Amino acid sequence: MSTAGGADVTSPGGSDVTSRGGSDVTSRGGEPVLAAEERVVSPLADADDRLIEGALRPKRLADFVGQARVREQLSLVLEGALRRGRVPDHVLLSGPPGLGKTTIAMIIAAELGAPLRITSGPAIERAGDLASVLSTLSEGEVLFIDEIHRVARPAEEMLYLAMEDFRVDVVIGKGPGATAIPLDIARFTLVGATTRAGLLPAPLRDRFGFTAYLDFYEPAELGVIVRRSAGLLGVTLREDGAEEIAGRSRGTPRIANRLLRRVRDFAEVRADGVVTRQIARAALELYEVDDNGLDRLDRAVLSALVSRFGGGPVGLSTLAVAVGEEAETVEVVAEPFLVREGLMARTPRGRVATPAAWEHLGLPVPEPGAAAYPGAGYPPGTTLFG
């Protein structure tokens, strides 16, 4: 791997990897390699985590668990392109974090037998950043842009022309003397991933030939993923242990694999290394993950909403201050799962706890129109639920 600092590194599998700007990666030989994160705490630990994460990712579409409709649709897109001998249409993957968008991008490159270049939207700040990536693409290469909705506007406008005509206009000079030089680029397939599809401009969204929305996984599907990951990690996992981990994984494979590694640590240190339901429960209780998958932040938000604000409505910023977190953290990390589980509702007046929130916290559900709890911060006579 050739990095910006000039160091040459060879990937473990022997494939050639090219890194540009610290975020782009090209993998050849059919085994794409994920780019290193820009912020590294420990190089050795980070490399080990990437190897583990890479080992748990399925390499082929047939090995990908869940998202059955997306798999079938994508297989037709790829197979049709291969039979015609042409590059596939550009692919847009949307959905919550941790559901496999990056993995699917790697699978697309592997199925096509093409190199994969990985970058991210925030890394493309100027049109020149994008031009340097596009101009070095090889024929049929797959370009994966994570968080594509965060690409800078000047680069986004250049991307329109590149996706449709496989051409970029390089501007030389400034002011009245500026000259646009058209530059043809190799035909490529763009795979864009976004967690907020609504932020994508319509002109960019319409240029994707295939759009797929990834939904949360069922516990049975997560159980298959956990058992497969346990086999790859050499973890002795009983069936009931796999069910326990899958049930607390919030419908997300990334969380399931993370919980499996933490349960493995617990089983190896405090038990005989075998993960049973009892061991999994003890481990997850230690890591503050309850039966429904709620973690410390989720329960803090619910507890503040119920005990301090009488169930709401309460504003996001006020709720964030009450739990000692940033408003964006509460909105992005905690709220989506709480709303999906029916424990919280968003209203025009603010966030509101549902009766299920009281039940989850082990508190009696107040009757509609009942007075707010004393000390909840409301004037006397305030009622709950309307």
In a domain, 9, yes or no: no
Give the pTM.
Answer: 0.75
The catalytic residue among 26, 28, 57, 102 is 102
Residues 67 and 193 in one domain: yes
326, 332 contact by CB (below 8 A)? no
The catalytic residue among 26, 103, 194, 195 is 195
Residues 253 and 157 in one domain: no
In a domain, 243, yes or no: yes
Residues 271 and 314 in one domain: no
Paired tokens of 60 = 């082929």
Q: What is the pLDDT of residues 229-279, one digit of tens each?
A: 988 888 888 999 999 999 999 889 999 999 999 999 999 888 888 889 999
In a domain, 65, yes or no: yes
Number of domains within the chain: 3
At 323, which CATH number? 1.10.10.10
Residues 316 and 238 in one domain: no
Residues 326 and 252 in one domain: no
Active site residue 254: yes
CA distances from 74 to 45, 87, 93, 268, 294 (A): 35, 13, 11, 40, 33
Residues 299 and 282 in one domain: no
Paired tokens of 106 = 């790697």
The catalytic residue among 101, 207, 248, 299 is 101
Which of the residues in the chain have pLDDT under 50?
1-47, 370-386
In a domain, 5, yes or no: no
Active site residue 205: no
According to the model, what pLDDT value does residue 175 have? 60
At 39, which CATH number? 3.40.50.300
Give the residue among 23, 54, 194, 185 at the shortest CA–CA distance from 117.
23
Residues 176 and 40 in one domain: yes
According to the model, what pLDDT value does residue 203 have? 85
In a domain, 21, yes or no: yes
According to the model, what pLDDT value does residue 32 have? 43
In a domain, 10, yes or no: no
**Domain stop point among 213, 239, 262:** 213
**Domain stop point among 171, 190, 213:** 213
Contacts with 239 (C-beta within 8 Å, 6 or more apart), sequence order: none
298, 261 contact by CB (below 8 A)? no
Active site residue 16: no
The catalytic residue among 129, 146, 295, 298 is 146
Active site residue 101: yes
In a domain, 11, yes or no: no
In a domain, 31, yes or no: yes
The catalytic residue among 20, 28, 205, 254 is 254
> What residues make up the domain containing 276?
219-286
23, 119 contact by CB (below 8 A)? yes
**Domain stop point among 213, 238, 256:** 213
According to the model, what pLDDT value does residue 38 have? 37
Give the residue among 128, 120, 122, 109 at the shortest CA–CA distance from 26.
109
